[in-house]
Amino acid sequence: MSAFPRHFGKYLLLRPLAKGGMGEIYMAGLGQIGGFEKLCVIKKVLAEKADPSKAKRFLDEAKVVLRLSHSALVNTFDAGEVEGEFYIAMEMVEGKDLREVWNRCVRQRQRIPIEVALHVAREVARVLAYVHSYGDLKLVHRDIAPPNILLGYNGDVKLTDFGLARSVLKQEKTQPGVVFGRAAYLAPEQARGEEADGRTDVYTLAIVLWELLTGQQYLPISGLDPSAGLALVRHPKPTPPSIRAPWIAPELDQVVLRALAPDRQQRFQSAEEFRLALSDVIAKVAPRTDPARVVELMQAVFQDVIAKERAEREHLLKDVIPAFRASSSAPPAPAARKTPAQPSVAAEKPRSASQSKGPPARTVHATPKPPSPAEQDNQENDNGMRLPGVTPVPVAVDGRLARREAALRVLAELAAEDAEPTPAPVQARK
């Protein structure tokens, strides 16, 4: 597995969130300037799954969701391709999907309050009314189910995942008789391979509401073989939720049963009609229904998780992302440049004891003038190596010759420094 964070186009993939049959979902970071990073979610097609059919379906989803804008929809703000992988970028909702909320409540032996169930259903009906009537797209979600409904810690309810949606924008058409979706949340017409419409989404939303009200599965098909399960989905026998939850009011029973009518002609004919019916019954049986009830539930069942996730986000934004950007964008340290050794006019080899009486060497830092022929006979570099065009100096054979050579070097240094005649006392020294 590749290490995280890692670059993905203009995004940083921070960690994987989920993996499905066709794609992967990652928490990601967006932003090029320190302190302006924003966390988001990247959904992309698996490289090994990116066959033409699935790639078209993925692009169809991107075309649809990029056009939509609603407070109860997960906002999708970007789509593209990076090194042969298609992706869409979405807002990150701080919360959990409805399936995870349900499972958490079961583990804690806590029932989902009726106000929460009704608020979730009404909000999804509200956004479906927007989706179904958007322009001329004739858009149908076709996959209303708990995993695609998100509950925010702040009370938001958001619908996501249009991977199975149908609209006039979609290039990859469903083959006649092919069933897409989750078997337990299929409308009868879907199970029969018929064309879905807005009333199909009304039916599947009613299944979600029935399960939230009762705490049980509407169609228990998990233990059946596929053919028996599909037969049950195609020919359901609606049951009022009050059979499993006696506290459900008759008015609410009637609304749910109408939305669950197997014949779509008998259902609510639009999501907006369903929403209005829910609003009327909420006013009678659950007037406290509002986002605050969702917040109370989420705080109660995810109290420990909320604190950990908040700390993780702060760590990513303040430490991980800045450190990664700094390390990946810093230019490599330049290699140390070696400065060529410059010849020093006053450089000498170490003197022997017999040479210690001679005059000390004097270092000259002025810009050297072209050496005279006499200077060339005595000029060496710092390493005692002969410079180009310089005549080697004979090796001293006695102390007198060594002192004479030292005196000549001093004369040469003084001449190079100020170009004045050599002082007489130094010349007199033999």
Active site residues: 143
DSSP 377: T
Total residues belonging to the chain:
430
**CA 10 – CA 255 distance, rounded (Å):** 48
> DSSP assignment of 318-361, as one string?
IIIHHHHHHHHHSPPPPPPPPPPPPPPTT--PPPPGGGTTSPPP
Phi and psi at residue 291, in whole multiples of 5°?
-60, -25
Compute the distance between CA of residue 126 and CA of residue 287 in angstroms, rounded to an integer. Answer: 18
Task: Look up residue 47 and give its DSSP letter.
Answer: G
Cα–Cα distance, 183 to 128 (Å, whole number): 21
β-strand partners of 28:
13, 40
3-state secondary structure of 5: coil
Q: Which residues of 178-194 are buried (b: 16+ CB within 10 A; e: fewer)?
A: eebbebbbbbbbbbeee
At which residue do the structure tokens 């593209």 appear? 80
* Residue 88 amino acid letter: I
Task: Tell me the three state secondary structure of residue 49.
Answer: helix
**Looking at this protein, which amino acid is placed at residue 202?**
V
Q: Which two three-digit tokens encode residue 38?
A: 């924003």
Helix (H) or strand (E) holding 158: strand 157-159
Q: Tokens 């939230």, residue?
A: 212
Please provide residue 368's backbone torsions phi and psi, each rounded to the nearest 5 degrees.
-65, 140
Specify the residue for token string 């970071």. 29
379, 412 Cβ separation under 8 angstroms: yes
Cα distances (Å, whole numbers) of residue 94 to 44, 97, 155, 308, 406: 20, 10, 10, 12, 85
Q: Give DSSP secondary structure letters for 214-264.
A: HSS-SS--TTS-HHHHHHHHHS-----GGGT-TTS-HHHHHHHHHHT-SSG
CA angle 174, 77, 45 (to 5 degrees): 45
Tokens of 306: 């909320």
